[in-house]
Structure 1
């Protein structure tokens, strides 16, 4: 009798603890119960409020009413319920469709409830709305995609999930810093480009001046060559003049010799004439003397 009372008390305590657990879960989580084939039995207020339905609108209908129509027709979705009915559990993040057509995300566990014989009697889902967190993650993913495309103007919006919002703020700060760094690089690049243009222009000017100087040198060389030809011609003329002068000198020297010889000859003739004149005069005197 004592042991029976103790056992009864123990069972009562376990039931009380189980009820306490279910009360906490019901108060803080969205829960819904299904037949093994996915037909809805009941749902708590949190679930109904999250999806936007009343209990009368969902009871007796299939779980597929919360799923995208295309996905509800897939083999994966049918196998999902087959495996639940066989006793398998699933915990994951799932997109679900609200009554107004909008999509929410839930972190959920689907678990079969087994009777004493191990047979699946129902499937219970316990879920938490993580839509805000998921949107924050999608926002960061979008920011990364825009960044990979070179868009430094895109910023991640704020998120009500503190940890995701911290990631978004870190992303925005990193993009701000990257944008500042790239702006600085662009300024340096522009300065380098301007310097390169100036160097190119200076090179072009130098090349033009070099070409001009080369042309001037060519003209100078031509002038020097022409001057050299003129000097050479003048030298040739000078040599010809020198030769003519030498010829004139020789001729003059020869002429002087002839004149000298002529003078000598004339002197001799003069002497001869004087002698002749003396002889003639002497003969006349003699003739006169003897005739008288």
Structure 2
């Protein structure tokens, strides 16, 4: 009977931890939704592949989601910048954990260059290495 009671207690503790984790995930999802309502958001892998672009960002740059999702961030840059050492350094610094902030030129879907204020923030995984990059963008 002692074994049964101990296993029952362990199961109850595990269920309580699971509920707490579930609650925390819901809280974080709500936080991110609030950020997405307030700002243009672009989520990329550490390699620069666009995973998510919220409605506000898509409106600012004139793209449909299917034109950006799965593409490299460089599709939003001028070709000269995308091929430059500065661009390589930009991504190298992001993946090593450095936040990049300032005015950035983006290429609108119509081909025109537009200037936005942006903050690129690396999201670090368990080993402290960037696993993705989130850009928060606003109009200049």
> What TM-score comes out, normalization by structure 1 length?
0.41
Relative contact order, higher structure (CA 8 A, sep 6+):
2
Q: What is residue 114 of structure 1 aligned with on the other side?
A: 124
Please give the residue correspondences for 1:121-200 in structure 2 after superposition, counting only pairs within 5 Å.
121-130=131-140
Runs of 5+ unmatched residues, structure 2: 1-8
Provide the C-alpha distance between the structure 2 equivalents of 1:30 and 1:104, rounded to a whole number of angstroms. Answer: 14
Q: Which has the higher strand share?
A: 2
Q: Name which of 1, 5, 15 aligns with 2:25.
A: 15
8 Å CA contact retained: 1:29, 1:46: yes
Q: What is residue 64 of structure 1 aligned with on the other side?
A: 74
8 Å CA contact retained: 1:31, 1:43: yes
Q: Name which of 46, 50, 58 aligns with 2:60.
A: 50
1:79: how far off?
0.5
8 Å CA contact retained: 1:104, 1:129: no
Deviations for 1:126-171, whole angstroms, at most 9, x for unmatched residues? 11122xxxxxxxxxxxxxxxxxxxxxxxxxxxxxxxxxxxxxxxxx
Provide the C-alpha distance between the structure 2 equivalents of 1:36 and 1:16, rounded to a whole number of angstroms. Answer: 24
Deviations for 1:72-107, whole angstroms, at most 9, x for unmatched residues? 222111100111122222122212120112232222
Provide the C-alpha distance between the structure 1 equivalents of 2:18 and 2:49, rounded to a whole number of angstroms. Answer: 35
> What TM-score comes out, normalization by structure 2 length?
0.79
Is residue 2:115 matched to residue 1:91? Answer: no
1:6: how far off?
5.1
8 Å CA contact retained: 2:95, 2:129: no
8 Å CA contact retained: 1:40, 1:61: yes
Q: Residue 89 of structure 2 aligns to a residue in which SS?
A: helix
Is residue 2:35 matched to residue 1:25? Answer: yes
Highest CA radius of gyration, 1 or 2? Answer: 1
8 Å CA contact retained: 2:43, 2:53: yes
Q: How well do the aligned residues superpose, as a CA RMSD in angstroms?
A: 2.0
Deviations for 1:182-223, whole angstroms, at most 9, x for unmatched residues? xxxxxxxxxxxxxxxxxxxxxxxxxxxxxxxxxxxxxxxxxx
The number of equivalent residue pairs is 130
Q: Which has the higher helix share?
A: 1
